[in-house]
Amino acid sequence: PIYSPDSSRYDNGMKYRRCGRSGILLPEISLGLWHNFGDVNTFANSQAMAHHAFDKGITHFDLANNYGPSYGSAEETFGMIMKKSFMPYRDELFISTKAGHDMWPGPYGEWGSRKYLMTSLNQSLRRMNLDYVDIFYSHRYDPDTPLEETLQTLVDIVRQGKALYVGISKYPKAAAEFAYRYLAERDVHCLLYQGRYNIFNREPEEEGILQQAKENGTGFIAFSPLAQGLLTNRYLNGIPDDSRIAKGGFLKKEALTDETLKKIKALNEVATQRGQTLAEMALAWLLKDDMVTSVIIGASSVAQLDDNLQSIKNTKFTAEELEKINQIDSL
Ligand code: NDP
């Protein structure tokens, strides 16, 4: 059947936030394709999640060259979805990709060289059936490549029209400062900083990355907002067979210590008192003020996606709730 999106997709409760000093609004919830969209996953489920997301007003899809597994396959899956259903809506979508991590063998398949970034983006565009991406990121700071080389490549990518905007991910604060200035001096605004941020990982707040982005007019978009699933009800009663830990990926069994499980259970209590699931509360916590533009969630089912979408209905916290969450986190 030919996909036809929900005609009330912009009246389904999604809220949009301005991304720093820019013309772009992003949905409070964005969908990441790191897991569950590879060639190891069923296309039907990946497609169902993408369709459902768009039907609910999620306009931003976050990808990277090596998402899968296998490398490149999440972009291929997305490319198929583009071709089969999303192409008529291309201009309603805000699509990202990145290069920086391991992608192909040899010296030119990772890090921050011009050679790698340019050729990787060309490959990504082909896989996704796109002429351009909305935002292209330097996926990680490369301590060995001159930062000027990486950043000039971002500038040139914009000039070539292969990306409308650029961003940086996981850059240390000093490198981010350099990047914001270098890009701005060339009239290319850095639209987004993408960093890991959740109740268990407060680095962007503690290191001043959030404040720095704000001062530079750059939006902040949070990845792994659920700590890869730890900040949900997923592991409350053991490790389910179909979970990320059981499947053996980046989330290791060792991450689920007795200490962490204790915290998860205590946080789950706070969530229940708020009338939210733990996942909903964890996302709402990130959206409680204007420091975060959007959260990029991962999901392995439409049901999880739906749960996560509920979070935006209540992003207000009392001082007592915030204090309680901090206490639990520092247990
Ligand atoms: P999350 O922290 O949102 O974790 C997603 C996982 O949590 C899901 O796969 C699922 O696990 C579980 N989950 C999600 N919703 C629920 C729910 N409502 N109830 C129960 N369990 C739930 O994010 P990710 O770690 O997946 O990262 C999100 C995105 O961020 C990525 O897709 C990518 O786009 C981006 N990212 C960027 C990085 C960077 O370096 N810039 C690094 C990492 C991610 P399960 O599979 O077990 O069901």
The predicted-structure confidence for 270-319, as pLDDT tens digits, reads as follows 999 999 999 999 999 999 999 999 999 999 999 999 999 999 999 999 99
Q: pLDDT-derived band of residue 244, with 50, 70 and 90 as boundaries?
A: very high
What ipTM, to 2 d.p.? 0.99
- Rounded distance, CA 199 to CA 173, Å? 20
How far is the C-alpha of 31 from the C-alpha of 44, rounded, in Å? 17
Task: Flag whether pLDDT at 97 surpasses 90.
Answer: yes
Q: How many other CB atoms sit within 10 Å of the CB of residue 157?
A: 21
Q: What is the pLDDT of residues 30-75, one digit of tens each?
A: 999 999 999 999 999 999 999 999 999 999 999 999 999 999 999 9
Whether the predicted pLDDT of 231 surpasses 70: yes
**Helix, strand, coil: what percent of the chain each, to 5?**
45, 15, 40
CB 166 within 8 A of CB 188: yes
Domain ranges across the chain: 16-329
Tell me which of 61, 232, 247 to substitute to probe ligand 1's pocket, judged by most ligand atoms within 8 Å of the beta carbon: 232
Q: Which CATH superfamily is domain 16-329 in?
A: NADP-dependent oxidoreductase domain (3.20.20.100)
Contact residues for 90 (Cβ-Cβ < 8 A; gap 6+): 82, 130
**Crossing angle for the helix pair 173-185 and 147-159, nearest 10 degrees?**
40
CA angle 100/101/102 to nearest 5° reads: 130
What is the distance in A from the centroid of ligand 1 to the CA of 274?
Answer: 23
**Probe residue for ligand 1, chosen from 234, 292, 293 as the CB with the greatest number of ligand atoms within 8 Å:** 234
Residue with the smallest CA separation from ligand 1 atom 23 is 224
Please tell me what DSSP assigns to residue 176.
H
Question: Contact at 8 Å (CB) between 118 and 124?
Answer: no
Q: Which residues line ligand 1 (CB under 6 A)?
A: 32-36, 62, 139, 169-170, 194, 223-229, 232-234, 243-244, 279, 296-300, 304, 307-308
